[in-house]
A = this chain, B = another copy of it.
Amino acid sequence: MAKLNWGMIGGGEGSQIGPAHRISAAMDGIYTMAAGALDVNAEKGRDYARRLGVPADRAYGDWREMLDGERARADRVDLVTVATPNATHCEITKAFLEAGINVLCEKPMTVTVDQAEDIVATAKKSGSICAVNYGYSGYALVRHMRAMVARGDLGKIRLIKAEFAHGFHADAADLDNPRVRWRYDPAQAGISAQFADCGIHALHMASFVAGQNPSELSADFVSCLEGRALEDDATVNFRMDGGAVLRLWTSSVAIGRMHGLAIQVFGEKGGLRWAQEWPNQLYWTPLNGRTQIMERGGPDLSPEADRASRVTIGHAEGMPLAFANIYADLAEAIAAKKQGRAIDPLADHYPKAIDGLRSIAAIAAAVESARNHGQWTDARPPSLR
């Protein structure tokens, strides 16, 4: 596999998501961190990039400088990861795509549906690859669930339960804590808090595994802590375009729950259960049969799962390896594009701009439904109605 140059925007010193991206991109030895604009503070960003090994002339002060700098180089970055505040995703992503540079954008891809439609259109027009980091979809056993559904092991999917419930915003003493407060402030967070932050991971996973997208939805948003303008807990019921019902719960006040991303999929011929916190086991129950434990790395999984496994059975794999699978998929997608050939179908599982758009449309629809006391609301992006 040819080496690729990689750049990062955002993810500066002290950020949570920055290290996860760097670990995941570095792991397979394909990506070299060649450029970066890591911080809103230009000097801090340059300094940190240099300390991370980025050559001085590619340690940029901001993303515009980086765009200009990279555009001018023959060895310009093959992929840029955008991990800046949500409100800036659209402008940055669009600019790089238009410059012919592939982008992996953090979720949520944009703040408004119009922006998301814009990104999708830009990616299409430019021919650049635009991925969105629903990184949990990179877990080997999540890939395996998708493969099982796709090849018909479950028959028609009837029902999906998806959750993302943690308890880290439950302390009333944190209402004025800057680390927490901005998330529930419409001026900073937009129209939705917990659903836009965590709920869409659960939604994407349901869509990814079931191969179905939301048609309409009914939402119930609540703010469990007084004084919060945005929801810290929500349930959303969906009707999916392939006929399944999706029931989704997300919460940030579920004290004792750590991460809580989990999915259950029920079809005519069997049921599946998986949880992100214990990602190396998948529970599969065929209709009228016993529950079986599928182990990551086992000899009896799909090619999709095998491709996404790095160490032998019984050795735990975790989230950075799931993220690394997104990067590995993108490496193949970029190589295929460069070589003018079709992508290996086993690598074509990374989340794309269209998936990002669908999430943003679902956020807008859920907010509208919640305001209308749960009224059923069209969840599709305008361009896909």
Contacts and interface: CB of A to CB of B under 8 A. Distances in A.
Interface of A: 1, 3, 16, 19-20, 22-23, 26-29, 33, 51-53, 158-159, 161, 166-167, 170-172, 218, 220, 222, 224-225, 233, 235, 237, 245, 247, 249, 251, 253-260, 264, 266-268, 270-273, 276-280, 283-288, 290-295, 298, 300, 310-321, 373-376
Contact of A285 (B16, B255, B272): B255
Contact of A266 (B22, B167, B264): B167
23 contacts: A20-B311, A27-B320, A29-B52, A158-B224, A159-B251, A159-B253, A161-B254, A167-B285, A218-B218, A218-B220, A235-B235, A256-B271, A256-B283, A257-B264, A259-B313, A280-B316, A290-B300, A310-B320, A311-B320, A315-B318, A316-B317, A318-B321, A320-B321
Contacts of A295: 258, 290
Contacts of A237: 220, 235, 374
Query: What are the 3 closest A-B residue pairs judged by CB atoms, nearest first?
Result: A259-B314, A256-B285, A255-B271
Given A259-B314, A320-B27, A280 B277 contact: yes
A224 B92 CA distance: 44
A255 B290 CA distance: 10
Given A253-B158, A288-B171, A53 B33 contact: no
A192 B271 CA distance: 24
Contacts of A278: 278, 316
A323 to B, nearest CB: 9
A291 B260 CA distance: 14
Contacts of A255: 266-267, 270-271, 285-287
Nearest to A22: B29
A267 B312 CA distance: 24
Given A53-B29, A292-B291, A245 B266 contact: no
B311 A315 contact: no
A253 B233 contact: no
A310 B51 CA distance: 18
A254 B233 contact: no
Contact of A293 (B16, B293, B313): B293
A272 to B, nearest CB: 8
Contacts of A260: 314
Given A20-B315, A257-B264, A277-B316, 19 more contacts: A26-B27, A26-B28, A27-B27, A29-B52, A158-B253, A159-B222, A170-B271, A170-B287, A171-B287, A235-B237, A255-B266, A256-B273, A259-B313, A290-B292, A290-B293, A290-B300, A311-B318, A373-B375, A373-B376
A342 to B, nearest CB: 22
A220 to B, nearest CB: 5
A374 B375 CA distance: 7
A2 B93 CA distance: 32
B254 A264 contact: yes
A260 B266 CA distance: 14
A223 to B, nearest CB: 10
A26 B23 CA distance: 8
